[in-house]
Structure 1
Amino acid sequence: MNQDEVDGLVPRWREAGLAPSLIASLELSKRMSRVNGLFEQAVKAELAELGLTYAEFDVLAALARTGPPHRLKPSELARALFLTSGGTSNVLQRLAAAGYVEREDDKGDARSRWVQLTAEGLRVAHLALEGSSRAHTEAMAGVPESTLRHAADALRELTLALGRRVR
Structure 2
Amino acid sequence: MKRDEVDDILDAWRVELPDLPSEPLEIVKRIARLSGVLDAATADELQLLGLTRAEYDVLATLRRSGPPFRMRPGTLTSSLLLSSGGTSNVIRRLAEAGYVARRAAEQDGRGALVELTDEGVRIAEKAVRAATGAQAAVLDRIPAEVSAVLVQTLRTSLDAIRGEAPRRALR
- Per the TM superposition, whether the score is higher than 0.5 is yes
Shift of 1:107: 2.7
Shift of 1:136: 1.1
Aligned residue for 2:40? 41
1:122 aligns with 2:130: no
Counterpart CA distance in 2 for 1:109 and 1:3 is: 61
Counterpart CA distance in 2 for 1:88 and 1:49 is: 22
Aligned residue for 2:8? 8
Counterpart CA distance in 2 for 1:153 and 1:97 is: 41
Aligned residue for 2:169? none
Aligned residue for 1:162? 161
Counterpart CA distance in 1 for 2:19 and 2:55 is: 40
SS of 1:115's equivalent?
A: strand
Counterpart CA distance in 2 for 1:66 and 1:72 is: 8
Tell me the TM-score normalized by structure 2.
Answer: 0.89
How many matched pairs?
Answer: 165
Range 124-133 or range 100-109, more displaced = 100-109
Over 3 Å counting, the alpha-carbon distance change for 1:119 and 1:9 in structure 2 is same
Shift of 1:147: 1.2
Aligned residue for 2:19? 18
Over 3 Å counting, the alpha-carbon distance change for 1:9 and 1:119 in structure 2 is same
Counterpart CA distance in 1 for 2:72 and 2:148 is: 33
Counterpart CA distance in 2 for 1:89 and 1:140 is: 33
Tell me the TM-score normalized by structure 1.
Answer: 0.91
Q: Which runs of 5+ in 2 are unaligned?
A: 167-171
SS of 2:102's equivalent?
A: strand
Over 3 Å counting, the alpha-carbon distance change for 1:62 and 1:157 in structure 2 is same
The amino acid that maps onto 2:71 is L
Aligned residue for 2:135? 136
The amino acid that maps onto 1:147 is V
Aligned residue for 2:149? 150
The amino acid that maps onto 1:61 is A
Q: Which runs of 5+ in 1 are unaligned?
A: none
Shift of 1:13: 2.0
Shift of 1:110: 4.7
Counterpart CA distance in 2 for 1:78 and 1:160 is: 23
Counterpart CA distance in 2 for 1:122 and 1:150 is: 34
